[in-house]
Structure 1
Amino acid sequence: MLISEASKIANLTKKAIEYYTEQKLVLPVMLNNGYRDFSENDVERLKRISVFRKLGLNTEEIKAVLADQTNNTLQKISVQKDLNMQKEQVKKSILDKLSCDQSYAEINADLKAIEQSATVTEKLLEAFPGYYGRFICLHFARFLNESITTTEQESAYAEIITFLDNVPSLNFSEELQSFLIESTKHISIENIRDMIEKTKQSIENPDKFLSENKEVLEQYLAYKQSEEFKNSPVFKIQTMLKEFNSTSDYYNVFIPAMKKLSVSYAEYHEQMEIANERLLSQYPDIAKLNN
């Protein structure tokens, strides 16, 4: 079909379609008479492009999304947009402080904290693939809004950046990749935030968590010791992640640096260790599973 018909079906102006064609977002066949012939697939692609544009994606982002059959790119962009919204909210509060005569020196420290937080979260999202990257990014983002005021924090920040710039790729086999994509494709940012919040609540009051979830925990631990679990893709992924975190210096460099950089993360990590001790005291068999 010609551009006029494609325009009506896709509910786009000819100018918009011409622009998307110039940007190679859509590639209609060029006829001998110089007119472009848009297929039904081209029109469906135009409809998708229109949706992405209304959602604020730029041309390069749309190209990446259209080229990705897994939705991983779209999920990463969603996380980035979410983090950007948080950043804009913080900027709004800083403007409010300025309007109330807060000093520019204090404001600059707040702005620097925003920039550093954005740098770390973006690098986390790039360093770790798929769902794991989204989870890690959103998990640590809440600890990265504190201003860097000491030389120890500055050194820790530099360590984190160096680690993330040089961390080796985490490569799953094609089979495990397919499993991970399929099993996590419906997990939204809200789902991840909910999981993070529940984890936070469990370590803040481990005794209450263990008491209220005793039956579920016992069933879970029994399953983890079964042959079915040990032959499952989840077990293989968990084993790979443990090995990766150990060999990549995630535990020896990244985590200690995060504890130095962020007071709130250091407190969270201490709570997590106490909660783990409570868990191990009630379920000693889990120690064997964690070795």
Structure 2
Amino acid sequence: MNIQEVAQQVHMTKRAIKYYEEKGLLQVEKGANGYRVYTDEHVVILQRIQVYRKLGMELSAIRRILQDPQVEAHELRMLQEQLQDSMEQQSRQMETIQLMLAGASDYGRLEEQLDYQTIASAIQEMIPGVYGKMFMHHFLPYLQIPIVTQEQRDAYYAIIQFWDTTKLHMPLSMKIISCLLSFLHKNQVAGIQEKLDQQLKMLLEPDEKRYAQMKKAVLRQYRMQKYFLFRYLPSSLSKRRWMMELQRSGYNDVFLPNMEKLSPSYREYRRALFAINDKICTELNLVYDEHFCLVKKAK
């Protein structure tokens, strides 16, 4: 079969079929004429993909199922839990609306019945302004989940308390960049989980080419920092001062550890990032000094 015939059979666009091929969900070989040749097996796979997508499953989860059918039950249970949480949230919202229509006016009690749908929604409400914009730009992908454990709830309140009481002196240039980035990315939530999975896979299992590129980037940074002009460029000074300000404020000791408790995906990402950074620095015999500059490790 050609792609047009398959598209008609599975009620899907040719563009969608090609997209699933690009994402690694469908492997199709080319015939002698150079065109892709589709089989009945490809039709079944596309039908499975449609079922999973209509259930709301992420592409990354579908890819894992197609690569290893034994994980299907696990992925379906995970999806079932997410849908159950969503249904419970909607049920509480409907109940609250009914109470309000019936004349309920104890807003303190009504508020206790409701939770934000995601941690991201809660934090965006609790941390307005430039700090909230900076926070959400960096951490939004890891917060598209509800609070389901007491540890998460405690971590959430610790983070809110941190941002509510900490006074940070953010350089003007970084304020402008944070505002611009938050504006550019505020609607880019779709596909977040897939991007996270790809990013984590790159850190956990980098191919030789990618690892060599990361190692080269660290070495380039070390060499650039040795030049006087580079070290004292306004942008370099601003970045180092900001990192030292974060360290002084407790960002690294209070905020980030609680972020790990709040978001399992962030915890996995941060630990993978540290691991590969430590590996590269060890191979290059480098360490970070108190000014967050790369230097040769003392013998």
TM-score norm. by structure 1 comes to: 0.50
Work out the CA distance in 2 between the residues paired with 1:108 and 1:283. Answer: 56
**Contact 1:144–1:262 at 8 Å: present in 2 too?**
yes
Name the CA shift for 1:171/1:141 in 2 (closer, same or farther; >3 Å): closer
Aligned 8 A contact 1:206 1:278 in 2: no
By how many angstroms is 1:106 displaced? 5.7
Aligned to 1:159: 158
**Structure 1 residues 218 and 270: alpha-carbon distance in aligned structure 2, compared to 1, 3 A threshold:** closer
SS in 2 for 1:112: coil
Residue matched to 2:205: 205
Percentage identity across paired residues of the two chains: 20
Q: 1:290 and 1:114, CA in 2 relative to 1: closer, same or farther beyond 3 A?
A: farther
**d(CA) in 2 for partners of 1:116, 1:102:** 13
For residues 16-62 of structure 1, what are the alpha-carbon distances to aligned partners after superposition, in whole Å with 9 as ceiling and x for unaligned? xxxxxxxxxxxxxxxxxxxxxxxxxxxxxxxxxxxxxxxxxxxxxxx
Q: Give the drift of 1:140.
A: 0.7
> Which residue does the alignment assign to 1:126?
129
How far did residue 139 of structure 1 move? 2.2
Which consecutive unaligned segments of at least 5 residues does structure 2 have?
1-55, 57-79, 94-113, 190-194
Aligned residue for 1:105?
Answer: 88
Pair 171,268 (structure 1): closer, same or farther in 2 beyond 3 Å:
closer
| Structure 2 contact 156–258 (Cα < 8 Å) conserved | yes
Q: For the residues of structure 2 that align with 1:258 and 1:126, how far apart are their CA atoms?
A: 20
Alignment map for 1:67-78 (pairs within 5 Å): none
- The alpha-carbon deviation at position 203 of structure 1 amounts to 2.4
* Contact 1:204–1:271, Cα closer than 8 Å, also in 2: yes
Contact 2:169 2:245 in 1 (8 A): yes
Q: Give the letter aligned to residue 146 of structure 1.
A: I
Q: Deviations over 1:229-272 (max 9, x none)?
A: 11111221122122111111111111111111111111112111
Residues 102/240 of structure 1: CA separation in 2 closer, same or farther (3 Å cut): closer
Question: 2:118, 2:144 within 8 Å by CA — same for their partners in 1?
Answer: no
Matches for 1:1-291 after TM superposition, within 5 Å? 104-105=87-88, 107=90, 112-114=115-117, 116-121=119-124, 126-128=129-131, 133-134=133-134, 136-172=135-171, 177=172, 181=176, 188-189=184-185, 202-206=202-206, 208=208, 209-288=210-289, 289=293
Rate the CA distance shift 1:165–1:246 in 2: closer, same or farther, 3 A. Answer: same
Aligned residue for 1:142, secondary structure, equals helix
Tell me the alpha carbon deviations over residues 107-152 of structure 1, each in whole angstroms, 9 at most, x when there is no partner.
Answer: 46998352532232455562539xxx44x42221111122212211
Q: Corresponding residue for 1:60? A: none
SS in 1 for 2:142: coil
Taking a change above 3 Å as real, the CA distance of residues 266 and 178 of structure 1, as seen in their structure-2 partners, is: closer
Residues 123 and 164 of structure 1 are in contact (CA less than 8 Å); yes or no, is this contact kept in structure 2?
no
Give yes or no for contact 1:157–1:257 (8 Å, CA) kept in 2: yes
Match of 2:167, SS?
coil
> Alpha carbons of 1:181 and 1:120: their partners in 2 closer, same or farther (altered >3 Å)?
closer
Partner Cα distance (1:115, 1:179) in 2: 27
Question: Are the aligned partners of 1:203 and 1:275 in contact in 2 as well (CA < 8 Å)?
Answer: yes
Letter in 2 for 1:168: K
**Structure 1 portions without partners, runs of 5+:** 1-92
Count residues with an aligned counterpart. Answer: 184
Distance 1:248-1:115 versus aligned 2 partners, 3 A rule = same
CA distance in 2, matches of 1:102, 1:161: 23
Q: What TM-score, normalized by structure 2, do the two folds share?
A: 0.49
Alpha-carbon shift at residue 204 of structure 1 (Å): 3.3
Mean Cα deviation higher: 196-205 or 233-242: 196-205
Q: Give the conservation status (yes or no) of the 8 Å contact 1:127–1:164.
A: no
Paired residue secondary structure (2:119) = helix
